[in-house]
Each structure stands twice: as structure tokens, then as C-alpha cells.
Amino acid sequence: MDAGGSAAEFKRTNRKPAYPIGEALREYLAREGREVDLPVTYAQLRGFTAAMPLLNRDGKDSLWETVAYSQDEMERLSQGLLETYALLRGEGGMKVFSHVYVDRVDFCSFGNSQPFRVRIVNAYNENHDYFYVKVGDASRVCGLELEHLLSPNRMLFLTQGDTLVEEHVTGIPGDIFAEQWLEAGQHHPVRLAKELIKFEERCLVRLLGDMRAYNFVIAVTPDFDATAIRVRDLLAAMEANALSAPEKAKELADGLADYHRDPAFRQHTTMASLIGESLARLDRILRS
């Protein structure tokens, strides 16, 4: 598949539409240090000239393709991607990352955001890390920021224009954990159950409905705490930004009202106000 022939890949499945980042949300991201001048954009990475399927360790299709660029373009992109990695991981300190290099760039046409995955290798010890370059989707950005605020996990991501850069989250994908680790006896079942319950509750509060097994990883984490002031600030920015189709928000509001037996959800018409109601409901429960 070449860059120009990817249109068929885009039409293969019905994808969730990407919602542009609005002015209020952009201002919030800038205040929080998320909106920066990125050395490489998503559109620039789309200019690859060839792609080859990437197989996993078992020789099976990983649904990723390793992409290639012209020599001059690859040299320019490599430097820009290293600078992007330094911004993401080390606040722009290139001296700290002078010993790493870009090993390869992968593209996934299967994913909703059609991401690029950049593999960074340490020249001293061959350890590697990844980061992702995606289309800047407002709903994705809000989900990442809510994860950062309402969970024990600190999320590293940056935005500029239509580009979103995310860190790679280390862990065992949920589906692989269920297949290979769940019955292995190498974990405390009660502790695992507690972590899964907390994870489920956080997803419910943040209205994350797309939690299929391969969409999360297993890692031991402490309990979570919320930062209410920043959450309210974020919700105000979310309210000013389209995050979903109105009919989807209405469908979710009705479902939440039925699930929680709380008609208050039905009065809300946006994702932001539904999340606000969900957080308010949790606060009432904790205070009762």
C-alpha cells in the first residue's frame, strides 16, 4: 500500500469521526503546556513512499506497516522526530537524548486514528521506546486529559494544529493478559480484582465506553485522586467543543439515566455535561 493508495483503507470500515480541537480547548491545552510547536506533523508523516507489513514475533500480521521515505526526507524527519521525543519526554532537552536514534516508523490503517508509531532506540544499550503521532481529535485529547486528572496515571501528550503526539503506555494488553497471564498464578487475585474494579469505575465516571480488551494494559497502580479545579476548567473547555454527535449524546444520556436510575442525566445534551453530572453523582455518593 502506498501513501496515495490509502483511500481504500480509509473506506474499509466505518470509523468514529474526528472532531477538531476548538479555540477554548486549545487555550486550555496551551495553559497546561500541552500545545507546543511540534517539529513534525501528522500530515508530514503521511508522505511515505512505500510500506511493508510488520509481523509480530509469531510471524503473524500485526496490523502495522513499516513505512519508508526518500533518503532526504527520512533524514529530515528523523531529526524532527527525535526533537519531538525530547519535547515529550524531556521538555526539549536534546542533550539528554543525544544517544538515541529513530529505528523505524510504523503506520496502522486499522486504528480509528490511523496512527504512526515511532520506535526510538538507545544506542548505548539497545533498549527501545515508542511514541505515537495521530490526528488531533478533540474527544481523544479530552479522554487523555481526564485520564491524567482522574487516574493514578500521568499521561504525556502534546498537540499542535491537527497533530496529536502521545507517549507509549507500557504494560500487558488486556487480551494477552487474559489469554496468557490470568491463570498463571503470578499475581494476587484479590489485588487484581480490586484494580479491575477501580479501573471499571473510573471508566464509568469518565464515560469511556470503548474499553475492549486490547484497548487497555495491565499494570499495578496506586489509588487515584482527583484535581477538582483543573477538572472544572477542562469541562468548561469541553463544553465549548463538539466531542460527539448530538444523537449519540442523547442515546448515552438515556442509557445512563436508566442504568443509574437517575433522571438527572436526561437533561444533558453534551458529552461534557454528562461527564460533569457523572462526577457530581460520584461526589454526592462519597459525601453521603
Residue 101: exposure state from Cβ atoms within 10 A (0-12, 13-18, ≥19): middle
Helices (H), 67-219: 71-90, 138-150, 174-176, 189-205
Residue 81 near residue 118 (C-beta atoms within 8 A): yes
Q: Is 126 left (phi over 0), alpha (psi -120 to 50) or beta?
A: left
What is the Cα Rg of the chain in Å? 20
Residue 173 near residue 212 (C-beta atoms within 8 A): no
Residue 129: exposure state from Cβ atoms within 10 A (0-12, 13-18, ≥19): middle
Residue 154 near residue 166 (C-beta atoms within 8 A): no
- Comparing 278 with 1, the larger pLDDT belongs to 278
172 CB neighbour count, 10 Å cutoff: 14
Residue 270 has pLDDT above 90, yes or no: no
Question: Residue 10, CB half-sphere, CA atoms under 13 Å: how many?
Answer: 9
- Cα–Cα distance measured from residue 201 to residue 203, given in angstroms and rounded to the nearest whole number: 5
Q: What pLDDT is stored for residue 15 in this prediction? A: 66
Q: What pLDDT is stored for residue 252 in this prediction? A: 85
- Tens of pLDDT, residue by residue over 88-102, are 987 556 666 778 899
- Cα–Cα distance measured from residue 9 to residue 11, given in angstroms and rounded to the nearest whole number: 5
Residue 189 has pLDDT above 50, yes or no: yes
Nearest alpha carbon to residue 218 among 246, 179, 245: 179
pTM (predicted TM-score): 0.73
Helix-, strand-, coil-residue percentages of the chain, each rounded to 5: 45, 20, 35
- Tens of pLDDT, residue by residue over 232-257, are 566 667 777 777 888 888 888 888 88
- Please report, for the chain, the start and end positions of each structural domain, with discontinuous segments joined by +: 4-169, 173-287
DSSP 58: T
Residue 12 has pLDDT above 60, yes or no: no
- 270: cell is 453534551
Q: What pLDDT is stored for residue 205 in this prediction? A: 66
Q: What pLDDT is stored for residue 6 in this prediction? A: 44
Q: What pLDDT is stored for residue 220 in this prediction? A: 41
* Distance from the Cα of residue 188 to its chain's centroid: 28
